[in-house]
Structure 1
Amino acid sequence: MESTFLSITFLVVIYLLIKVISLEGRIKGMKYTLNQLANQSEISEGPIDDELHKLLREGKDVKAVKRVREAKGLSLVEGKKYIDELKLTGR
């Protein structure tokens, strides 16, 4: 009985892990598509990026990371990566 429960639990965990990995891949694909569309249409970055560029010019990198995390709901690593990419594109 106990081994059956463990087997079912293991299979459910594996299934959920596969689904999460699949969804992550789809999200990355959607982000890529959105970035391509934004680049082609020359859409402005938006008010949040303007604010972030201002913070970066003032040398307030930590505040910029905090602000982008609040505005976009990003993790710390994602926020830092976003700010690093903004620094590379510059203005």
Structure 2
Amino acid sequence: MDYLLLTAVIALGIFYISGQLNNIHTRLKRTEDKLDQIAKHMELPEHTINKELRQLVKEGDKIKAIKKAREVLGLSLLEAKNYVDSL
């Protein structure tokens, strides 16, 4: 009986945490979109590495571009991949 209750509490906890993470992800995406709009509106220059990353992708070295983005911008692997894909 105790194990069943414990299992149910853990399952509910996992569902709750999953929902909270989803909410955070959604809010972060909205914030990033707003920052991109502000940067375009203010005509802020792109990061200097973007030209090099585009060239690497054009040459077929997407993996190298992702690695470079991680090194220079301090991004995680997924963030760097998404960044390079967005260019």
Q: TM-score, normalised by structure 2?
A: 0.78
Partner of 2:3: 2
Tell me the C-alpha RMSD between the 2 structures.
2.0
Paired residues for 1:39-50 under 5 Å? 39-50=40-51
- Aligned twin of 2:33: 32
The gaps in structure 2 that reach 5 residues or longer are none
- 1:1-91 pair list within 5 angstroms: 1-56=2-57, 59=59, 60-70=61-71, 71-76=73-78, 78-86=79-87
Any unmatched runs of 5+ in structure 1? 87-91
- 1:3–1:56 CA distance, 2 compared to 1 (3 A): closer
How far the C-alpha of 1:54 sits from its partner, in A, is 4.3
- 1:41: how far off? 0.7
Which amino acid letter does the alignment assign opposite residue 16 of structure 1? I
Query: 1:83: Cα distance to partner?
Result: 2.0
Q: Alpha-carbon deviations, 1:7-55, whole Å to 9, x = none? A: 1111111110010000000011001101100110111112232332343
Q: Percent identity?
A: 29
Q: CA deviation at 1:68?
A: 1.4
Instruction: Decide whether the 8 Å contact of 2:66 with 2:77 is kept in 1.
Output: no
Query: What TM-score do the two structures reach when normalised by structure 1?
Result: 0.75
